[in-house]
Amino acid sequence: MVARVQLPALGRIYVFCVVAAGAIAIADSAHRLAAHPPVWTWLILAAFTLISGTLTIKVPSIAATISVSEMFVFTAVILFGAAPATLIVALDGLVLSVSSRSRKLYR
């Protein structure tokens, strides 16, 4: 049996605030996207982002990696604005979280 580590009260409040802020950002982006839909090609960038989400590139000279999907997110911001890019990165994060072997809610 694995022992569960509990966050202190301030840690739980912090996590709640981060989740609430993210939910508000996603809801606002979905509302903006519904009110002023961009051309359908943003869905192609969303698909490329989701497909390339697990591919990473090591950054030379430091212990870091960057996901290939970030390139598609930045492209979505430049071409279509913040609302579609926010939804794309939220979907990418959801897919990576669900497919992750480690199911920790926090690190």
In 3D space, the residue among 85, 7, 95 whose CA is nearest the CA of residue 54 turns out to be: 95
Q: Return averaged pLDDT per consecutive 10 residues of the chain, 107 residues in all.
A: 74 94 96 91 90 84 86 92 93 83 59
DSSP strand pairing (56-59 vs 64-67): antiparallel
Half-sphere exposure of 94 (CA within 13 A, CB side): 11
| Tally of residues, the chain | 107
Handedness of CA 29, 30, 36, 40 (dihedral sign): positive
In this prediction, residue 104 carries a pLDDT of 61
The pLDDT tens digits of the residues spanning 30-54 come to 999 999 988 888 899 899 998 888 7
Q: Which distant-in-sequence residues (6+ apart) come within 8 Å of 29 by Cβ?
A: 82, 83, 84, 86, 87, 90
In this prediction, residue 7 carries a pLDDT of 83
Answer for the pair 88, 80: CB distance below 8 angstroms, yes or no: no
Task: State which H helix or E strand residue 58 sits in.
Answer: strand 56-59
